[in-house]
Structure 1
Amino acid sequence: MIQKFNKLNLLIAFLAVFALIQFKVIDKSPIEINPESDFLMIEQAPKEVVELLKTSCYDCHSNQTHYPWYSNIAPVSWWLKGHIDHGREKLNFSEWDSYTPDQGDTLKVISADMIEKKWMPILTYKIIHKDSRLNEEQREVLVDWLRN
């Protein structure tokens, strides 16, 4: 007898696939960090800037990522890992000493522009991480410091 694909069968199939994809976990292995290579150390950032950057930028743009609980749930974890990898590729504060002075200056200007235009932190990050939201004063502090 041929079974119909009714709602129950579709739900069972969906749950089975969802359960199976949980076995493809992302790599969250800690990356060795050299504090002397870090942007905040090299640039001697003031305490307020350190706190703002660590809260709003470092999860995606450094090797000091604090993975949230939902990083254990596929397929969200795959999207998150891809986003973090892309963020580190564009700018990695933990490897600041790998940039030439000109590259570093360019990255600071680009970062200031993106923060000023409210493109960073990205909306999906701000929705879940309320403490990463920058008010106008905080945004101005970061932009001014990055540009000077």
Structure 2
Amino acid sequence: MTSGTAVKKISLRLMAVLLVIFIAIQFIRPDRNISGQVFQTDISKTYNIPADVYTLIKNACYDCHSNNTNYPWYSNIQPIGWFLANDIKNGKAEINFSEFGSLSKRRQISKLRGIETQIKNDAMPLPAYRLLHKEAQLTEEQKELLINWIRNTRDSLSLNR
């Protein structure tokens, strides 16, 4: 057997092993973040949010920052699904719009301030999310609309403390 044939055999075996591993990991799926309900603590139930602002929040934030993720088709492919599950877990740890109303007023003010900063700095939505979700690519006007609502809501909370 020549060295070229041996290398070819090893390469084929390696590819076969990798294919088996790839197929096997498809059966290891993370839990889905779908509660199927809007809780009374949801930010949309806690505050009067204009429809245009709520649409922006829903499209740009809710997949990672609520208890109801709208999963894209590629979330069924592992390890992509694992990465998404981790992003959602981390996003909800930072802020969960489904539970926003359960936070103290002081904490809500702090979270709203943080959201404003993230939007201003173009840190949220995440660049990878924006790349795959065109509806999450906020225009300057949409950012301004969101920031104005955030400021007004934060100011009204500060007055009512």
TM-score in terms of structure 1 length: 0.93
Task: Give the equivalent residue in structure 2 for 1:105.
Answer: 109
Q: Quick one: distance in 1 between partners of 2:66 and 2:38? A: 12
CA displacement, residues 27-62 of structure 1 (integer Å, 9 cap, x when unaligned)? 116326344211022111111110000000000000
1:1-148 matches, within 5 Å, as 6-28=10-32, 30-31=34-35, 33-148=37-152
Give aligned-pair identity as a percent: 36
Residue identity matched to 2:119: I
Measure how far apart 1:7 and its partner are: 2.2
Measure how far apart 1:74 and its partner are: 0.7
Q: Quick one: distance in 2 between partners of 1:52 and 1:139? A: 9
SS of corresponding position for 1:84: helix
Judge conservation of contact 2:41–2:99 (CA < 8 Å) in 1. Answer: yes
Unaligned runs of 5+ in 2: 1-5, 153-161
Judge conservation of contact 2:39–2:99 (CA < 8 Å) in 1. Answer: no
Q: Which runs of 4+ in 1 moved over 4 A?
A: none
Judge conservation of contact 1:113–1:143 (CA < 8 Å) in 2. Answer: no
Judge conservation of contact 1:34–1:94 (CA < 8 Å) in 2. Answer: yes
Judge conservation of contact 2:33–2:69 (CA < 8 Å) in 1. Answer: no
TM-score in terms of structure 2 length: 0.85
Unaligned runs of 5+ in 1: none
